A and B are shown apart, each in its own frame.
Chain A
Amino acid sequence: MCDVCGCAHADVHVHVAGEILHTETGRQVEVGRALLQQNDREAEHNRAHFDAAGVLVVNLMSSPGSGKTSLLEATIQAVHRKLRIAVIEGDLETENDARRIRGAGAQAVQITTGSACHLDAGMVHAALHTLALREIDVLFIENVGNLVCPASFDLGQHRNVVLLSVTEGDDKPEKYPVMFRAADLLVISKTDLTAAVGDFQVLRALRHFRHLANPSPVLEISARKGDGMAAWIEWLVEEHARRRPAGMKQANE
């Protein structure tokens, strides 16, 4: 039982009555379960909270410095009156990003993980209970900047958005297949710097991305200049409409 909200979803009882084989030297108990079963259950529990409130939850992942927080700041300003945004910020240290989000005009909760390299469903659960979910349309979870670890942990999100900035190199999908395979949307960020960088080719990045058999859409965005923001907002509005149960009110209704 979840001791914060009292729901039964997060029951972490582990079913262990597997088949037992007696071998010469001992017993072998069949388990056959996902290793991260407990995290997965907690993630489902989070998703149940989000679904009940009609909130679209987007897990934002990238390497450090790809422009996640800048994209969020620009998004909050762009959807003002259209969608109510909140952000759960994951960083090893500091409240800096949460402060930036609040400065842009949205609710923000900062999770500082200490030295942990990723967010897990339990951390998100603790954070979600500090938010008024029914007053939110889209909740972003800005994961710890890292292209490896966050990919393995379900947080209860509906969509994964992965950023790849033009300053990083267009072969990142080939180097980090697990992360880029998980993307439901790939954002090529900082496109205003493409000319200055010189050797980043969007088509090459796209080819590496498709080589992971990922059919997800790809958007090119400059949060600083506003290029590509309209398509990104459109994607968010559509995804949110898909999540909102019939009859539930939106910000400007």
Chain B
Amino acid sequence: MHELAICQAILQQAAAVARVHGGHVKRINLRIGPLAGVEPDALRFTFPLVAAGTVCENAALAIETPAVRVECQICGAVTQVRPNRLLCGGCGAWRVALLAGDEMRIESVELFETETANV
């Protein structure tokens, strides 16, 4: 359950944004690829436990899951593939470069318009 550690990292970054810009956190927008090794459902389950009593209490986690895409080093095709089968959809080669699918990013934080910024 490393999702607990991941949730603590989300909380820390979102709380830092709230500290600078003021207000409570309404929504945290994440981008987590299938190859990040993080289970979105486990994050959604765990985050409220970590966020209780903080500026992120009741904040929603919006998790966008990009598709896994590879670029073939042999034929140059860019194709969408399964996370455990990173083979070129064009020629079947395994010599491919990952273009998307391993992201683990916090894209933005939405804050309620209730308090003035305390910067």
Report yes or no: A213 in contact with B95, Cβ–Cβ below 8 A: yes
Chain A 152-181: CB-based contact to B (< 8 A → 1; otherwise 0): 110000000000000000000111011101
A residues 13-52 with Cβ under 8 Å of B? 14, 16-18, 20, 23, 25-39
Assembled-state Cα–Cα distance A23/B29 (Å): 15
Assembled-state Cα–Cα distance A34/B13 (Å): 10
For the complex, is B86 an interface residue (Cβ under 8 Å from A)? Answer: yes
Assembled-state Cα–Cα distance A26/B2 (Å): 32
Report yes or no: A31 in contact with B106, Cβ–Cβ below 8 A: yes
Assembled-state Cα–Cα distance A23/B95 (Å): 44
Assembled-state Cα–Cα distance A18/B97 (Å): 30
Give the total of A residues in contact with B, Cβ under 8 Å.
Answer: 42
B residues 72-118 with Cβ under 8 Å of A? 83-87, 94-98, 104-113
- Chain A: CB-nearest residue to B21: A29
Report yes or no: A18 in contact with B17, Cβ–Cβ below 8 A: yes
Report yes or no: A27 in contact with B111, Cβ–Cβ below 8 A: yes
B residues 32-80 with Cβ under 8 Å of A? 32, 35-38, 70
Report yes or no: A28 in contact with B13, Cβ–Cβ below 8 A: no
Tell me which of A14, A177, A181, A213 contacts B12 (CB under 8 A). A14
Judged by DSSP, the binding face of A is: mixed
Tell me which of A117, A175, A210 contacts B84 (CB under 8 A). A175
Assembled-state Cα–Cα distance A32/B20 (Å): 16
Assembled-state Cα–Cα distance A175/B84 (Å): 7
A181: chain B residues at CB < 8 Å are 35, 86
B interface residue count range (under 10 / 10 to 19 / 20 to 34 / 35 or more): 35 or more
Assembled-state Cα–Cα distance A159/B21 (Å): 40
- Chain B: CB-nearest residue to A146: B2
For the complex, is A151 an interface residue (Cβ under 8 Å from B)? Answer: yes
* A35-B106 in contact given A29-B17, A213-B86 (Cβ < 8 Å): yes
**What is the distance, in angstroms, from B53's C-beta to the closest C-beta of chain A?**
20
Report yes or no: B94 in contact with A210, Cβ–Cβ below 8 A: yes
Tell me which of B85, B95, B113 contacts A26 (CB under 8 A). B113
Tell me which of A26, A33, A116, A118 contacts B106 (CB under 8 A). A33
Assembled-state Cα–Cα distance A148/B87 (Å): 22
Report yes or no: A27 in contact with B113, Cβ–Cβ below 8 A: yes
**What is the distance, in angstroms, from B10's C-beta to the closest C-beta of chain A?**
6
Report yes or no: B105 in contact with A35, Cβ–Cβ below 8 A: yes
**What is the distance, in angstroms, from B99's C-beta to the closest C-beta of chain A?**
11
Report yes or no: B111 in contact with A26, Cβ–Cβ below 8 A: yes
Assembled-state Cα–Cα distance A210/B97 (Å): 13
Tell me which of A17, A29, A116 contacts B109 (CB under 8 A). A29
B residues 1-26 with Cβ under 8 Å of A? 1-2, 5-6, 9-10, 12-13, 16-17, 19-21, 23, 26
Instruction: A35-B32, A210-B94, A212-B94 are known; give 20 further A-B pairs, CB within 8 A.
Output: A14-B12, A18-B17, A18-B108, A27-B113, A28-B109, A29-B111, A32-B105, A32-B106, A35-B6, A35-B9, A35-B13, A36-B9, A36-B104, A118-B5, A149-B2, A152-B2, A152-B6, A177-B84, A179-B37, A211-B94
Enumerate the 10 nearest inter-chain pairs by beta-carbon distance, A residue then B residue, closest first: A149-B2, A178-B37, A213-B86, A177-B84, A14-B16, A16-B20, A152-B37, A26-B113, A210-B94, A35-B104
Interface residues of B (CB under 8 A from A): 1-2, 5-6, 9-10, 12-13, 16-17, 19-21, 23, 26, 30, 32, 35-38, 70, 83-87, 94-98, 104-113
